[in-house]
């Protein structure tokens, strides 16, 4: 199974860091948050990744191109231009990096990697970590028999608001003005290839048209996650995650 990670946004709310590098490469505990997200999936046996690049995407490509160098002890012979690796701790990952455009919406980024997908797949954002049980999420999705499943969480609502009836989503409102405690969009989707037909063009945002259409066709389910979840939207969020990691209390570290 593949996991698609949206990693192309501008990250304007954390511009203190994102003016230098794309948000998914901002580090928590010395490793990019993108690495943390991939470790979560890898813990559940998903090691095939498609990264949707955009803003400063070349930096993400360079990170993985040099990943073995980052993670290994090496001897470099300058005279013969050879590099020998010794101890290394590289993960068993296959990483496909696709340029999905600078100004594409989240739906457009997804549409642009359709050629990489031929079966049920996972999808999430490149700035959110959680201890969501991916294995249980996949089983839940299989049981619901819908085109899409979103992981719902319950913090104060500054993200997309979700209303449900049983396991089926009855409405999906992106970033409502009323801040109240309710189910919101926490990413960590499971999707069927059918969802590509719900995306119109490159500028469309997945959270608006496509999810709203899925709701109308009773094809969007929600997996309820009542434990840890956090998005790294601001520098404050980044510092809070860093403090959890440094204190040995990072709930998303399930590996």
Return the sign of the alpha-carbon dihedral for residues 237, 243, 248, 249: negative
Q: What is residue 209's three-state secondary structure?
A: helix
Q: Quick: pLDDT tens for 172-185.
A: 776 655 555 678 99
Q: What integer pLDDT is reported at residue 176 of this predicted model?
A: 56
- Domain 2-246, CATH among 3.20.20.70, 3.10.580.10, 3.90.550.10, 3.40.50.1220: 3.90.550.10
Residues of the chain with pLDDT under 50: none
User: Is the entire prediction scored with pTM above 0.85?
Assistant: yes
Long-range CB contacts (< 8 A, 24+ apart) of 58-64?
59/21, 59/22, 59/25, 60/7, 60/22, 60/24, 60/25, 60/34, 60/97, 61/97, 63/25, 63/32, 64/95, 64/97
Domain positions in the chain: 2-246
């Amino acid at each position: 199974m593949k996991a698609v990670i949206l990693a192309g946004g501008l990250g304007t709310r954390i511009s203190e860091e994102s003016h230098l590098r794309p948000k998914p490469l901002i580090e928590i505990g010395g490793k990019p948050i993108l690495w943390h997200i991939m470790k979560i999936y890898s813990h559940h046996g998903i090691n095939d990744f498609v990264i949707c690049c955009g803003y400063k995407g070349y930096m993400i490509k360079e990170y993985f191109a040099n990943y073995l160098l980052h993670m290994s002890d090496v001897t470099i012979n300058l005279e013969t231009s050879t590099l020998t690796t010794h101890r290394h701790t590289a993960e068993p990952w296959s990483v496909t990096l696709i340029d999905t455009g600078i100004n594409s919406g989240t739906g457009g980024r997804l549409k642009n990697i359709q050629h990489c997908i031929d079966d049920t797949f996972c999808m999430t954002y490149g700035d959110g970590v959680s201890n969501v049980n991916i294995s249980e999420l996949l089983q839940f999705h299989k049981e619901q028999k819908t085109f899409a499943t979103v992981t719902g969480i319950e913090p104060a609502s500054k993200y997309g608001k979700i209303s449900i009836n049983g396991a089926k989503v009855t409405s999906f409102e992106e970033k409502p003005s009323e801040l109240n405690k309710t189910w919101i969009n926490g990413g960590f989707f499971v999707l069927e290839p059918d969802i590509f037909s719900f995306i119109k063009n490159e500028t469309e945002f997945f959270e608006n048209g496509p999810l709203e259409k899925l709701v109308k066709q009773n094809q969007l389910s929600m997996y309820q996650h009542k434990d840890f979840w956090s998005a790294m939207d601001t520098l404050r969020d980044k510092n809070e995650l860093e403090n959890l990691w440094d204190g040995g209390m990072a709930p998303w570290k399930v590996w």
